[in-house]
């Protein structure tokens, strides 16, 4: 009997992981909404709007971290420019959100405010169809995928790898950031997109919309995890790991590493684009600083902190680092960079397997 599509993916998880997944979905889809809506703000168990936005944001980051782990932990390709795909997805969805503002902007024009400000008379061609949700959703996936495919094809074809590849991704993202900082590019210059009013007709700041976005993000994160687990356990995943460990040997056996690398690279970019699109309506702003070099490298440290090549590690890392960041930037803003810098060094020097590796080591020591 053919099993339902979803179950084939779920089979990649063992019983414990399936239980954890169910618990995660129950908390994010049922418990958090109930605690947010049913309890008054003063109650100890009330989940505040701030917490929902923060957790929603971190779950978007966790999706990016899983995408990063797929290429770095399993493919051995370290990208220092993944922010570009995240931001492209965010911008693609941001265009739709800007059009949803309609005439409620401060200039009461059909055009987005920043275009009125620049004295533009009509939308540039690449904004065509941006008021259509489905088209925007397509762009969210297609634009990062296209950029990643073209860049990846040329880079992997000439067998650029290791630090060369890392630095070139960084240069790419840096150039894109400069491009998006220009007003003439048509994406709002250094202010980017903000002041969104509604999504699919629903007010974007209402508690219900927030909870729905939160739930969608949680579901996408869960789906990404299950899919990634299935992928790395498949034959494809095993060839990919082999390429990571000994590319030349894989080539001599008869595989062409180009298409394996290109596939995982493009897939990773698509996941980042989706994460970016989920991030924008929850955080309410997208600007070129998302493409800054520092942001992209931070993604790598989430993965490194959690543990590369484990899939659960990046999620743990994204939560740990970003919660620490929220706490530090409020309590000791001056020491955050020292802490982050130290984190980079300590994790690479002392914890090559990350928190997950540490956990495993401790359990083994006990057993």
Partner 1 sequence: MFKTLLALLIFACATVAQATPDAALVRQLADEDSDVKIAAIQTLARTSDPDALRILKAMSEDGLALAGEQVVIVDGDKVFDAATGAPVPAPENAEAVTVNNRIRRELASALAALKLFDSDPAARLESAQRLQSKVDAGMAPLIARALEKESDAEIKALLTLAHAQANLANNDPAARLAAVRALSGSSSPAVKNLLLPLSGQTGGKAGQTGDPDSRVRYAAISAVKAIDARLSRAETIGRIFSGLSLGSILLLGALGLAITYGVMGIINMAHGELLMIGAYSAYAAQSLFRNYFPNAIDWYLPAAVPLAFFSAALIGVLMERTVIRWLYGRALETLLATWGLSLMLIQAARVLFGAQNVEVANPGWMSGSIEPIANLPLPLNRIVIIGFALCVLLLMWVLMNRTRLGMFVRAVTQNRAMAACVGVPTARVDTLAFALGAGIAGLGGLALSQISNVGPDMGQGYIVDAFMVVVLGGVGQLAGAVWAALGLGVVTKLIEGWSGAVIAKIVVLVFVIIFIQKRPQGLFALKGRSVD
- Using CB under 8 A, list all residues that contact partner 1: 72, 78, 80, 151, 154-155, 157-160, 162-164, 166-168, 170-172, 174-175, 178-179, 181-182, 248, 293-294, 297, 300-301, 304, 334, 337-338, 340-345, 347-349, 352
> What sections of 104-161 are H helices per DSSP?
113-117, 133-157
Residue 358 Cβ vs partner 1, minimum distance, rounded to whole Å: 16
Residue 73 or residue 105: which is nearer to partner 1 going by CB? 73
Residue 188 Cβ vs partner 1, minimum distance, rounded to whole Å: 16
- CB of 95 closer than 8 Å to CB of 329: no
Residue 145 Cβ vs partner 1, minimum distance, rounded to whole Å: 19
Nearest CA to 64 out of 237, 343, 293, 315 is that of 315
Per-residue buried b or exposed e for 338-352, using 16+ beta carbons within 10 Å of the residue's own CB: eebeebbeebeeebe
**From residue 26, how far is each of 19, 183, 215, 232, 285 by CA, in Å?**
11, 44, 10, 26, 29
Residue 32 or residue 77: which is nearer to partner 1 going by CB? 77
Nearest CA to 110 out of 98, 92, 125, 118 is that of 98
Residue 47, both tokens: 């989940």
Residue 217 Cβ vs partner 1, minimum distance, rounded to whole Å: 27
Q: State the DSSP H helix or E strand holding residue 343, giving kind and residue range, or none if neither.
A: helix 336-350
At 101, is the secondary structure helix, strand, or coil?
Answer: coil
Residue 211 or residue 347: which is nearer to partner 1 going by CB? 347
Dihedral of CA atoms 184, 187, 191, 195 in degrees, nearest 10, equals: 140
Residue 351 Cβ vs partner 1, minimum distance, rounded to whole Å: 11
Q: Are strands 198-199 and 202-203 parallel, antiparallel or unpaired?
A: antiparallel
Sign of CA dihedral 136, 264, 232, 295: negative
**Cα–Cα dist 114/354, whole Å:** 44
**Cα–Cα dist 5/290, whole Å:** 35
Residue 146 Cβ vs partner 1, minimum distance, rounded to whole Å: 16
3-state SS, one letter per residue, for 219-256: HHHHHHHHHHHHHHHCHHHHHHHHHHHCHHHHHHHCCC
Residue 55 or residue 321: which is nearer to partner 1 going by CB? 321
Residue 22 or residue 178: which is nearer to partner 1 going by CB? 178
Residue 246 Cβ vs partner 1, minimum distance, rounded to whole Å: 10
Residue 64, both tokens: 């990016």
Residue 90 or residue 288: which is nearer to partner 1 going by CB? 288
Q: Are strands 285-286 and 193-194 parallel, antiparallel or unpaired?
A: antiparallel
- CB of 32 closer than 8 Å to CB of 52: yes
């Amino acid at each position: 009997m053919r099993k339902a599509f979803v179950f084939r993916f779920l089979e990649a998880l063992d019983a414990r992981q399936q239980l954890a997944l169910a618990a995660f979905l129950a908390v994010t889809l049922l418990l958090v909404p109930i605690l947010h809506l049913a309890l008054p703000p003063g109650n100890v168990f009330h989940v505040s709007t701030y917490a929902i936005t923060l957790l929603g944001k971190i779950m978007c980051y966790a999706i990016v971290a899983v995408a990063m782990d797929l290429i770095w932990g399993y493919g051995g390709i370290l990208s220092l420019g993944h922010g570009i795909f995240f931001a492209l997805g965010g911008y693609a969805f941001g265009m739709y959100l800007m059009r949803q503002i309609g005439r409620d902007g401060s200039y009461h024009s059909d055009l987005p405010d920043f275009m009125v400000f620049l004295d533009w008379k009509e939308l540039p061609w690449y904004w065509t169809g941006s008021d259509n949700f489905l088209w925007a959703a397509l762009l969210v996936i297609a634009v990062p995928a296209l950029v990643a495919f073209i860049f990846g094809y040329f880079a992997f074809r000439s067998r650029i790898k290791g630090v060369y590849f890392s630095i070139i991704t960084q240069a790419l993202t840096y150039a894109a950031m400069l491009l998006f900082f220009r007003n003439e590019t048509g994406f709002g210059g250094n202010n980017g997109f903000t002041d969104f009013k509604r999504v699919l007709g629903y007010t974007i700041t209402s508690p219900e919309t927030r909870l729905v976005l939160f739930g969608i993000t949680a579901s996408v994160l869960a789906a990404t995890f299950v899919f990634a687990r299935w992928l790395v356990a498949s034959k494809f995943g095993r060839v990919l790991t082999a390429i990571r460990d000994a590319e030349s040997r894989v080539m001599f056996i008869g595989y062409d590493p180009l298409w394996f690398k290109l596939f995982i690279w493009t897939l990773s970019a698509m996941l980042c684009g989706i994460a970016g699109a989920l991030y924008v309506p929850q955080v309410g702003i997208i600007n070129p600083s998302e493409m800054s070099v520092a942001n992209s490298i931070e993604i790598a440290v989430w993965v490194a902190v959690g543990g590369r090549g484990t899939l659960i590690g990046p999620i743990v890392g994204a939560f740990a680092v970003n919660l620490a960041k929220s706490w530090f930037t409020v309590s000791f803003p001056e020491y955050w960079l020292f802490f982050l810098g130290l984190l980079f060094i300590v994790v690479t020097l002392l914890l090559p397997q990350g928190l997950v590796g540490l956990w495993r080591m401790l359990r083994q020591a006990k057993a």
